[in-house]
Structure 1
Amino acid sequence: MAGAMIAADQPTCFPSDLLVAVSSKDDGTMLDRIRGRHVADVLENRRRFCDQLGINYDDVVYHVISYDQAQTFDTTIEVTEADTVKYNNEGIFADALYTEMAGVGLLLPVADCIATVIYDPKRRALMLAHLGRHSTVVQLMSQAVQYFVRRGSQVKDLKIWMSPSITQKNYCMDYFDHTNDTNWHNFCRQTADGIYLDMQGFNRSLAIQAGVPGDDIFISPIDTADNPNYFSHSSGDTAGRIAVVAMMRG
């Protein structure tokens, strides 16, 4: 079989005019934080993965997440074909990328964080958001839904999918500043070991509060922390990343 993405783990909730795919470990790492953003063999992995999907890596915008001190973790940037790697090998620093252009792919590498695809099939508008702990805490999900509304979407039309990511049973923090925040009440569990966070549940609740129908929010059941097919930062994969790619077909 060409390529190694796992058929059973791909999202099935979107209409056929939207391509969304998630790579697995066997596709190779899509980012090596230790060696730099665009080392040749990693670029080759990205190209090969895109080829498998029938798209050209040169038509993709590479999504870069920054954890610098100055970050607010809620930056959304709209991209067009002018931002694809033909013109931009550096990638775009943002917490969410949004496009209304068919044929512009969005590629986000992750290893435990939730790569989240939001799609409005009526208006044909697409977002790929990085929901890590920082962006989850600042409620990027709520802002993402609002972004669609400002652009003319009806909330009830949105469909959301969250990628394989670390789930509450494995996501333990030594401390968490928001344990007393009522929003987090149902989504953090304090034990003798630490505080276990339900990131997927929290983000789902934000989307529902914003008006997205619960039936249109899909969460991958895969926990990257204990599934050997996926890279997991918490399980020691400091260099490895899977990728989620999303693109509206022409």
Structure 2
Amino acid sequence: MKLNILMVEDDQSVAEMMEMFIKKEGWTMEVATDGEQAVEKFSANPDQYNLVTLDLNLPKKDGIQVAREIREKSPTIPIIMLTARNSEAEQILGLGVGADDYVSKPFSPLALIARIKALQRRIDIEESQSRAKAKAEADKVKEKFDVETEHIKISKDRREILFDNKKVPDITPKEFDLLAIMAEKPKQVFSRSQLIDYVWGYNFFGEERTVDAHIKKLRHKLEKVGANVIQTVWGIGYKFDDSQV
């Protein structure tokens, strides 16, 4: 991966030395010579940088404050702190404000290049794993839905109905079954007697108007999160159609 690095370094000789090694890797580098300039450069376009090397001892604004302000702009940009200080407390402070790694001066340019590569590999692996996990979770969720239309998703295992990914609340078992049966065959007209057979069973001896009462309640619950997707077909029964929503 080609990197564009922001090096925050007030020592010109160090910056020039690192620029030679960075260019040799095929990367590009910009230099900020004090803390205020570093924040201004980064804030102007955070997305253009892939990594920041940050000296702790800087004019105008120290590295700790710069790290804090960079983190406010980008929670994920990799930061390697460079400093002549070597105390454990300062290392902990630097890492605590958002640095990902810590290199003490004097350092070997090749060693810093190796640390940059190692940090970038780790980030690439983490991002790859995160994408793979998100995809697996999305695929897993998708597999759990038995019915998917333009706006409705239905999971029979969880007895769950989503309207544009919003859960339809307080669905009773009969209401769930009615919607599931109709949504499995969008635009197909179901008579009241068909719906009774499917939902209540052939041995049901109640009134066909029972279907009307359940449909009315189901429509009301669907409309709370979306729209009415159950249409009345006069003289026959009902059908599901969310294509016009």
Asked whether the two chains share a fold, i.e. TM above 0.5, the reply is no
TM-score by length of 2: 0.24
TM-score by length of 1: 0.24
Larger radius of gyration: 2
| Higher RCO by CA contacts (8 Å cutoff, separation 6 or greater) | 1
Larger helix proportion of the pair: 2
